[in-house]
A and B are shown apart, each in its own frame.
Chain A
Amino acid sequence: MTLAIACRGLVKRFGQKVAVAGIDLEVHKGQCLGLLGPNGAGKTTTVEMLEGLHRPDEGHIELFGLRWGQGHDAKLRQRLGVQLQETTLADKLQVHEVLRLFRSFCERGRAIDEVLDMVGLRAERHARYQTLSGGQKQRVALATALVGDPELLFLDEPTTGLDPRARKALWSVVDIFRDAGGTVLLTTHYMEEAATLCDRIAIMDQGRLIAEGSPAELVDGLGQVQFVEFETTESVDLERLQQLDGVESAERRERQVSLRVGRDVRFVANVLSELGRQGVVPIGLSTHQATLDDVFLALTGHGLDGAASAAEGSAA
């Protein structure tokens, strides 16, 4: 059995609202899968069903070939490390006391100091939890998940609200865990986080999986494209630009002009000479490869912040 997580047809409703509308997932041992999507996409509900906190209304879940509620729960919990969203651990406890508490629940696990070193909190050993910064608290939360030396780690938006430095510090802990052969399922709405940490990404929107694959596969799924962007105050004939060889779409938002162009330098040259013919001087011209953000936008028609984008329908 090489599957750490397998679930089929997961559905969860809260009253009238369908939070998760039929999800299939497989995560192999040693892999890191990222669930990516805007707030309200159903990521947390999905993860909490996998963790055994909610019972799915439909579908089934297997972790290491075992299902919840069939007498293996206690054994299964020994193999999981969980970080939930927005948990406040005991304010008055010192960091090492929090870890002792969580360590005491596990049959096997890591030494407190070893975990403190992993998350870089050795110096805060005796600090009270309530005096820590947001990033440090997140690392304590991660440490409580790691202290039982789990095989499978669930991280629900582990870096939301953290500054870039704290975020990178947390990523490196996940890397250490993965290097030791651990399996990770994490949710995030940061593209960069998913691209850095995950072997595979599943994109969720409105309770469904709308795409799944490695970061490269997902980007390639957009086609062999790159983006050409520049600013101008003059009028541009977008129609003519779109008719050029290799140009897939062109749009303008105020001064910002953005084109989707095939991955060939000649296509970019075509664009530049057409601009020359129109007498347009492009300011701050740049080209960049497609990113997961572009994938998400193309798949859902809206950005990760959930707001409908002006790009809607412009991709030809």
Chain B
Amino acid sequence: MTSPAATPPSAERFHPLVELTKTRLREFFREPGLIFWVFGFPILMAIGLGLAFRSQPPERPVVALLAPEDSALGRALLSSKELNVVRAPEQDALRGLARTKYSLLIDLRQEQPAYRYDPMLRDARLARALVDDELQRAAGRKDPLSARDEQQSLPGTRYIDFLLPGLIGMNLMGSSVWGVGYNLVVARKRRLLRRLAVTAMRRSHYLLSYFFSRLVFLVLELSVLIAFGVLVFGTHVQGSMVLLIAAALLGAAAFAGLGLLVGARVESTEVAQGWMNFIQLPMWVLSGAYFTNERFPDWLQPFIQALPLTALVDALRGIYNEAATLGMLWTEFAILGAWAVGSFVLAGKLFRWQ
């Protein structure tokens, strides 16, 4: 800005990297459909799967009771927490038993109680044990042993705790691969890339703008999904938030690199879609975002573990649920870093502006 020729006639001066990044963000936030796919879809997914696999209290066995009104044992059964006891006329009770509406029929009309049930049914045998237990205790049994119950339904061990880091990983993969790859191909198809190539724009700025816009999206996607987990399912990040963000950042960089690779040369959006599905499909299936990948055969495991989504989801899960530290996750971080560097370097060599 020392020579007069370099002084702009106006005071306006914009930084190209800022303007390019703002362009990326504007293109995204002015496309309502995209907003749904990036933010709404994973949340719907989490709601759906979270509801389907929510931890339900076990159903109490339903049993029919035939007893005089003033039976003390009958009252004890009716107030049981373990059983759902229903008084019923004999005809109804028998019919209900035959149709498995009732697991068991208790007859307290005689002095000796009688249980009527089908011993081939597991429910019925369970009901018999519970009913008998209640009756013995009501009749004055003292238990010689008293055991302590340890119930496993703590945050961090439920299916939703397993699922949420997986969804975050899937989401970062989808939005990064698409956000970079698809947009590059559209820009090339519309000849916008060659238009930019004949300006004084530094080409590295253009590619960096994708990276910086991904950063902004990453923060948004991550906070939406984490907040959703906290509010709806009570999930919590047990480990370091900084480490979680670092893992997500590295994952997003790896996937942005893959997107860059797809967008390096392809000119048609259809072909680009094919490539993006080709890249993502093995990871959808193998990386264990929804279900554990440990059931795949051993010979496949080295390949599965080398996939960036596997590394990302494992790292996120470790931080989320087991408070894993960097020392425990360095292989995952190294795999993600290698994917990021490798794909960026290769894409840089392959990239065509026209």
A201 at the interface (CB under 8 A from B): no
Cβ-defined partner of A77 (8 Å) among B5, B14, B30, B200: B200
B16 at the interface (CB under 8 A from A): yes
Given contacts A92-B27, A92-B30, contact A78 B191 (CB under 8 A): no
Q: Which of A103-156 contact B (CB under 8 A)?
A: 103-112, 114, 128, 144, 148-149
Proximity bits, A71-95, B CB within 8 Å = 1, else 0: 0001001101010101111111100
Contact of A105 with B12 in the complex, beta carbons under 8 Å: no
Contact of A84 with B191 in the complex, beta carbons under 8 Å: yes
Cβ-defined partner of B19 (8 Å) among A51, A89, A104, A110: A104
Contact of A97 with B23 in the complex, beta carbons under 8 Å: yes
Contact of B23 with A90 in the complex, beta carbons under 8 Å: yes
Point out the residues of chain B lying under 8 angstroms from A90, CB to CB.
Answer: 23, 26-27, 192
Contact of B26 with A107 in the complex, beta carbons under 8 Å: no
Which chain A residue lies CB-closest to B28?
A92
Contact of B26 with A104 in the complex, beta carbons under 8 Å: no
Whole-angstrom CA separation of A305 from B190 in the bound complex: 26
Which chain B residue lies CB-closest to A98?
B23
Contact of A105 with B200 in the complex, beta carbons under 8 Å: yes
Point out the residues of chain B lying under 8 angstroms from A106, CB to CB.
Answer: 199-200
Contact of A100 with B19 in the complex, beta carbons under 8 Å: yes
Contact of B199 with A105 in the complex, beta carbons under 8 Å: yes
Which chain B residue lies CB-closest to A51?
B198
Point out the residues of chain B lying under 8 angstroms from A92, CB to CB.
Answer: 26-27, 30-31
Most buried by B among A91, A97, A108: A108
Whole-angstrom CA separation of A89 from B195 in the bound complex: 9
Proximity bits, B1-39, A CB within 8 Å = 1, else 0: 000011111101011101110110011001100000000
Whole-angstrom CA separation of A100 from B23 in the bound complex: 10
B345 at the interface (CB under 8 A from A): no
Contact of B18 with A104 in the complex, beta carbons under 8 Å: yes
Contact of B195 with A84 in the complex, beta carbons under 8 Å: yes
Contact of A108 with B6 in the complex, beta carbons under 8 Å: yes
Cβ-defined partner of B192 (8 Å) among A52, A87, A100, A128: A87
Which chain A residue lies CB-closest to B354?
A53
**Overall SS of chain B's interface:** loop
B101 at the interface (CB under 8 A from A): no
Cβ-defined partner of A108 (8 Å) among B8, B15, B194: B8
Contact of B14 with A103 in the complex, beta carbons under 8 Å: yes
Point out the residues of chain B lying under 8 angstroms from A128, CB to CB.
Answer: 30
B245 at the interface (CB under 8 A from A): no
B220 at the interface (CB under 8 A from A): no
Cβ-defined partner of A53 (8 Å) among B8, B27, B197, B200: B197
Contact of A105 with B31 in the complex, beta carbons under 8 Å: no
Proximity bits, A153-167, B CB within 8 Å = 1, else 0: 000000000000000
Whole-angstrom CA separation of A86 from B195 in the bound complex: 10
B281 at the interface (CB under 8 A from A): no
Contact of A74 with B200 in the complex, beta carbons under 8 Å: yes
Cβ-defined partner of B190 (8 Å) among A82, A87, A93, A110: A87
Point out the residues of chain A lying under 8 angstroms from B328, CB to CB.
Answer: none
Proximity bits, B293-336, A CB within 8 Å = 1, else 0: 00000000000000000000000000000000000000000000
Q: How far is the CB of A147 from chain B (nearest CB, A)?
A: 10
Proximity bits, B167-203, A CB within 8 Å = 1, else 0: 0000000000000000000000011101101111110
Point out the residues of chain A lying under 8 angstroms from B30, CB to CB.
Answer: 92, 128
A102 at the interface (CB under 8 A from B): yes
Most buried by A among B18, B30, B202, B354: B30
Q: Which of B201-241 contact A (CB under 8 A)?
A: 201-202
Point out the residues of chain B lying under 8 angstroms from A53, CB to CB.
Answer: 194, 197-198, 354
Q: Which of B30-75 contact A (CB under 8 A)?
A: 30-31
Given contacts A105-B16, A111-B9, contact A77 B199 (CB under 8 A): yes
Point out the residues of chain A lying under 8 angstroms from B202, CB to CB.
Answer: 74
Given contacts A104-B19, A107-B6, contact A88 B190 (CB under 8 A): yes
Point out the residues of chain B lying under 8 angstroms from A111, CB to CB.
Answer: 8-10, 12
Q: How far is the CB of A237 from chain B (nearest CB, A)?
A: 56
Cβ-defined partner of B23 (8 Å) among A78, A82, A93, A114: A93
Contact of B195 with A105 in the complex, beta carbons under 8 Å: no
Whole-angstrom CA separation of A89 from B201 in the bound complex: 15
Cβ-defined partner of B16 (8 Å) among A80, A82, A87, A104: A104
A101 at the interface (CB under 8 A from B): yes
Point out the residues of chain A lying under 8 angstroms from B201, CB to CB.
Answer: 105
Contact of A108 with B7 in the complex, beta carbons under 8 Å: yes
Q: How far is the CB of B184 from chain A (nearest CB, A)?
A: 13
Whole-angstrom CA separation of A74 from B202 in the bound complex: 8
Whole-angstrom CA separation of A296 from B194 in the bound complex: 32
Point out the residues of chain B lying under 8 angstroms from A77, CB to CB.
Answer: 198-200
Q: How far is the CB of A118 from chain B (nearest CB, A)?
A: 13
Point out the residues of chain B lying under 8 angstroms from A93, CB to CB.
Answer: 23, 26-27
Given contacts A101-B20, A111-B12, contact A82 B192 (CB under 8 A): no
Given contacts A53-B197, A107-B200, contact A101 B19 (CB under 8 A): yes
Contact of B198 with A84 in the complex, beta carbons under 8 Å: yes
Whole-angstrom CA separation of A111 from B7 in the bound complex: 12
Q: How far is the CB of A282 from chain B (nearest CB, A)?
A: 51
In addition to A74-B200, A82-B195, A110-B10, 18 A-B residue pairs with Cβ atoms within 8 Å of each other are A52-B198, A53-B354, A74-B202, A82-B199, A87-B194, A90-B192, A91-B27, A93-B26, A100-B12, A100-B19, A101-B20, A103-B12, A104-B16, A105-B199, A106-B200, A111-B10, A114-B9, A144-B195
A-B pairs with the 10 shortest C-beta distances?
Answer: A111-B10, A104-B14, A88-B190, A77-B200, A104-B19, A92-B30, A105-B201, A104-B16, A82-B198, A87-B195
Some 14 contacts from A to B, beta carbons below 8 A apart, are A53-B354, A77-B198, A80-B198, A82-B198, A82-B199, A84-B191, A88-B191, A89-B195, A90-B27, A92-B30, A101-B20, A103-B12, A104-B19, A105-B199
